[in-house]
Chain A
Amino acid sequence: MNTKVTPALVPYDDAVARYEPTLGLEVHVELGTASKMFCGCPTAFGAPANTQVCPVCLALPGSLPVVNATAVESTIRMGLALNCTIVENCRFARKNYFYPDMPKDYQISQYDEPIAIDGYLDVEVPTSDGVETVRVEIERVHMEEDTGKLTHTGGATGRIHGADYSLVDYNRAGIPLVEIVTKIVPGTGALAPEVGKAYVSQLRDLMRSLGVSDVRMEQGSLRCDANVSLAPPDGPLGTRSETKNVNSLRSVERALRYEIRRQAAVLDAGEKVKQETRHFNEDDGSTSPGRSKEEAEDYRYFPEPDLMPVSAQPEWVEELRATLPELPAAHRKRLQSEWGISDFDMQSVINAGALELVEATVAAGVSQAAARKWWMGELAREANDRGVGLSELPVTIDHIVRVEDLISSGALNDKLARKVFEGILAGEGDADEVVAGRKLELVSDDGALLAAIDEAIANMPEVVAKIQSGKQQAAGAIIGAVMKATKGQADAGRVRALLLERLPAEG
């Protein structure tokens, strides 16, 4: 009987001051193939329940799997992008366990012969002193299949515990999954949660650039299990916990942070960390233990007799290597040098999640400085306030292109341009509609400007005198008055030119 009260969490800084965290990450990525891993059913997300099924993915008696060629190629490409060795001969295995979302009651996976091994991903981790690159080593990349989707019904919570029964939709069963397992990641210290988050984030970018998956964490096409253990400095590796289904980037960081604080408390109390599976609670960022099993699972792996081995001949692998696009790290380096900006500025763009938008905006003809200014300025602030991604704002690249055109033609200045974006964000239409609706056009009619100038000259004789005595810097006061009179809609440069024409320096 355990009568000990669960120790409190240790403050994070204290935890990482006393213990060294070691990370391990297992990521499952659903491939974006047209058909499933072992049958011809479609993989589209969100179809009505049990409409994307066939005898194979329902595991009807007698049905047999056949491997999707594109899934194998995508996995090899992922392995190559992760700097892995592609294993020349590998096979599928059956992982046997009973669970109602898995129609065959075994999962076709890979076991002792994964298709790719021993790779790495250099992860750029933002820190207070700039960017630190951490090499995360990859243990293996292997192919498997997804399970169906369970809905727990009845009872109070809709959760697994307390439900009266569950309903199963097998549309997702058999969608190709690639599992990417890291080796242990030691020595990240206090940075561990950020490393975990940055790894998953950069893995996601990598998958996206390969075009192998839409990697939408919110739809579950990228799922992460985060493992962490603590040990005293120079001590042997500690016992790890595995937090399952941490399904957003922020959650990866939060779950790791929580586990480090919790385990530190356990160790501080002189207790042992249990090797266990834990669940992440989105609501409060905590983790809680799963139902503990009396005995370890025994998956009774054996080679899948219904499938033939895969032979990744070097020629085939090289053909696939040639299809790899520029990978995100190289791509970022290239952009940074093309734009001629500092590491810090580049990292700011990446951290703001603005890289793709800035790149596309530049490609649409806007200068990199302007593109960064707009996306990283008010737009980033607005997105943050709304709690959405930049790309979800109503402002588009076309809007920015148009605003920049208006600025360079002299129709807008920066200040007015901000108002244009304000209007677009408020749903007042496109740039031209906002300009028209809010009457934001610069006053370019010289007659109107001259009238305002004359009025200012009349009101400020002492300033006029200074200007006429050759102190051109005094012109600012009159220009300010004109701008005020035109409610900011005058081009300050034009005003200055007209004023100096009106008041030529004497002598």
Chain B
Amino acid sequence: MTADITRLSAATLAAELAGKQMSSVEATQACLDRIAEVDPQLHAFLYVDAEGALATAASVDRRRDAGEELPALAGVPIALKDVMAMRGVPTTVGSKILENWRPPYDATVVSRLREVGLPVLGKTNMDEFAMGSSTEYSAYGPTRNPWDHDRIPGGSGGGSAAAVAGFEAPLAIGTDTGGSIRQPAAVTGTVGVKPTYGAVSRYGLVALASSLDQAGPCARSVMDAALLHEVIAGHDPRDSTSLPGPVPDVVKAARTADVRGLKVGLVKELNGPGYQAGVRQRFSEVVELLTALGADVREVSCPNFTYALGAYYLILPSEASSNLARFDGMRYGIRLGDDGEANVEEVMARTREGGFGPEVKRRIMLGTYALSSGYYDEFYGQAQKVRTLVQRDFAAAFADCDVLISPTCPTTAFPIGEKVDDPLAMYLNDIATIPVNLAGNGALSMPIGLAPEDGLPVGLQVIAPPRLDDRLYNVGAAVEAALEDRWGHPLIEEAPQ
């Protein structure tokens, strides 16, 4: 019985809850049981809040029983990436430096989840401070890919993607600074959306790179992602970079699922020799499919994307080096080396040395250098100019296209341990996802089949112009419907149990 519940989509669960065929407590308990069953292997969760989730579920059930009109996702359980502050619940950001820290406040995204009544099952694993593409840099051990436990689930949001792919939760919140929602979605056969920068409040999202970070939905279907998008998006006066104005109707777009006459640009620079053969094969099949569905697919060139990775690996560490300064062992988190003799400067340095992992330190060092006097213009300043060029490339491409497409990542999930000591190889995972973060557009990743050579999921990236996130859901839902027709079921059903 419970196994069945956990395989339902969020949309179906929501309908059953609304029709009182099931209670939220039942749904939540089913997820908790599934977590107890599979998470010892997957390690998608860093913390499971059974009590809190069941309390929320019970309160939603009571309100529903009292005849209250509730929002669509009320009572549908969700997993939260451990990068979001949640009052009273441990929030570690995958780092030892925040071990046991319980925030005294809620992120805006968490407040919205509470308002709508989504029981939060717990906090999901991630690369430390969201720095990584494999979740291997978590201070609390790696998460495993439900498709193959010896492979990475992507990162930094590997925990959220694995929780969804592993049927531990129908929905999860992720954050995406250079691909941390989309790349995990691609390698776990799930759907992940990075909305337009500013569409979802960053208040309470522990900052990695402020000008790149964006939270978004993780789900098993495009419609589920749209339903969650609708809950978390919207203006927040506590985030100065939050977009004012109404949220595009993403749920309606997911229902529309019609690409007839749509101009789809295939980005030449995001598909080529560096991409795995099976990834390219599935991608070209989707191009054919889109054409068959009535879309007008053409190739576009974004020449400055070549420089995007370099610019990203200057901007991100620069902002991160400053954002992570506050982790100094003075106000919260752990403090190391305070022996009564050491001065404050030494204690800060010891705390940060012992509290941060190698990738975090690497990026802090890099960012400190890129911002330091005499190097700013050469590095950070120049990278910000490249960012302008990337935006111009997008603008030029969108002058001719409604959406752009590419594979989400160059390869399928790689084996755990393969790239952990090779930062450059790790960084290359994000080559197709990074331009979007630099420019601020929204983008979606969705499963488009398994690579023939390894039987692992391949992701399609759909990119829309800034603010027009509804287009992502329209295209995604159309492709999803066509593929499921072909396969006879959603791809995720093929994942081993």
A and B touch in the complex (CB under 8 A): yes
Judged by a CB distance under 8 angstroms, whether A66 is at the interface is: yes
Please give, as numbers and ranges, the residues of chain B lying within 8 Å of A302 by CB-CB distance. Answer: 318-319, 322, 371, 376, 380
Chain A, 48-99, CB within 8 A of any chain B CB: 55, 58-67, 94, 96, 98
Check A96–B203 contact: CB distance below 8 A: no
Known interface pairs A98-B345, A298-B373, A305-B319; A62-B206 also in contact (CB < 8 Å): yes
Judged by a CB distance under 8 angstroms, whether B211 is at the interface is: yes
Judged by a CB distance under 8 angstroms, whether A340 is at the interface is: no
Judged by a CB distance under 8 angstroms, whether B85 is at the interface is: yes
Known interface pairs A60-B104, A298-B373; A308-B326 also in contact (CB < 8 Å): no
Please give, as numbers and ranges, the residues of chain B lying within 8 Å of A308 by CB-CB distance. Answer: 240-241
Judged by a CB distance under 8 angstroms, whether B37 is at the interface is: no
Chain A, 17-67, CB within 8 A of any chain B CB: 55, 58-67
Output the residue of A58, A66, A299, A302 with the most chain B CB within 10 A. A302
Please give, as numbers and ranges, the residues of chain A lying within 8 Å of B321 by CB-CB distance. Answer: 96, 300
Check B331–A103 contact: CB distance below 8 A: yes
With both chains docked as a complex, state the minimum distance between the C-beta of B316 and any C-beta of chain A, in angstroms.
Answer: 11
Judged by a CB distance under 8 angstroms, whether A307 is at the interface is: yes
Cα-based distance from A332 to B238 in the complex (angstroms): 44
Judged by a CB distance under 8 angstroms, whether A405 is at the interface is: no
Check B203–A61 contact: CB distance below 8 A: no
Label chain B's interface by main secondary structure.
Answer: loop
Known interface pairs A103-B326, A168-B330, A306-B240; A62-B372 also in contact (CB < 8 Å): no
Output the residue of A67, A96, A308 with the most chain B CB within 10 A. A96
Chain B, 213-256, CB within 8 A of any chain A CB: 237-241
Judged by a CB distance under 8 angstroms, whether B328 is at the interface is: yes
Judged by a CB distance under 8 angstroms, whether B9 is at the interface is: no
Output the residue of B98, B202, B237 with the most chain A CB within 10 A. B202
Output the residue of B204, B322, B368 with the most chain A CB within 10 A. B322
Known interface pairs A96-B371, A98-B345, A305-B210; A64-B203 also in contact (CB < 8 Å): yes
Check A62–B85 contact: CB distance below 8 A: yes
Check A105–B241 contact: CB distance below 8 A: no
Please give, as numbers and ranges, the residues of chain A lying within 8 Å of B210 by CB-CB distance. Answer: 305-306
Check A61–B330 contact: CB distance below 8 A: no
Output the residue of A61, A66, A104, A299 with the most chain B CB within 10 A. A61
With both chains docked as a complex, state the minimum distance between the C-beta of B215 and any C-beta of chain A, in angstroms.
Answer: 11
Please give, as numbers and ranges, the residues of chain B lying within 8 Å of A64 by CB-CB distance. Answer: 202-203, 238-240
A60 partner, pick from B84, B85, B373, beta carbons under 8 A: B85
Known interface pairs A60-B332, A96-B371, A98-B345; A55-B240 also in contact (CB < 8 Å): no
Please give, as numbers and ranges, the residues of chain B lying within 8 Å of A164 by CB-CB distance. Answer: 340
With both chains docked as a complex, state the minimum distance between the C-beta of B64 and any C-beta of chain A, in angstroms.
Answer: 31
With both chains docked as a complex, state the minimum distance between the C-beta of B369 and any C-beta of chain A, in angstroms.
Answer: 9
Judged by a CB distance under 8 angstroms, whether A7 is at the interface is: no
Please give, as numbers and ranges, the residues of chain A lying within 8 Å of B207 by CB-CB distance. Answer: 61-62, 306
Check B103–A61 contact: CB distance below 8 A: yes
Known interface pairs A105-B326, A300-B368, A302-B371; A62-B205 also in contact (CB < 8 Å): yes
Cα-based distance from A55 to B87 in the complex (angstroms): 11
Check B348–A98 contact: CB distance below 8 A: yes
Please give, as numbers and ranges, the residues of chain B lying within 8 Å of A59 by CB-CB distance. Answer: 326, 331
Please give, as numbers and ranges, the residues of chain A lying within 8 Å of B103 by CB-CB distance. Answer: 55, 60-62
Judged by a CB distance under 8 angstroms, whether A100 is at the interface is: yes
Nearest B-chain residue to A39, judged by Cβ: B238
Please give, as numbers and ranges, the residues of chain B lying within 8 Å of A300 by CB-CB distance. Answer: 321-322, 368, 371-373, 376
Judged by a CB distance under 8 angstroms, whether A106 is at the interface is: yes
Can you pick out 13 interface pairs between chain A and chain B where the beta carbons lie within 8 Å of each other?
A60-B104, A61-B101, A61-B326, A66-B238, A96-B321, A298-B373, A300-B321, A300-B373, A300-B376, A301-B371, A302-B376, A305-B210, A306-B207
Q: Which 9 A-B pairs have the closest CB atoms?
A: A105-B325, A300-B371, A305-B210, A305-B211, A62-B204, A61-B206, A62-B85, A59-B326, A62-B206
Q: List chain B positions with a Cβ less than 8 A from chain A.
A: 84-85, 91, 93, 98, 101, 103-105, 107, 202-207, 209-211, 237-241, 318-319, 321-322, 325-328, 330-332, 340, 344-345, 348, 368, 371-373, 376, 380
Beyond known contacts A164-B340, A305-B211: 19 more, CB 8 A cutoff:
A55-B103, A59-B326, A59-B331, A60-B103, A60-B332, A61-B98, A61-B103, A61-B207, A62-B84, A63-B105, A64-B202, A64-B240, A66-B239, A96-B371, A98-B348, A106-B325, A168-B330, A300-B376, A302-B371
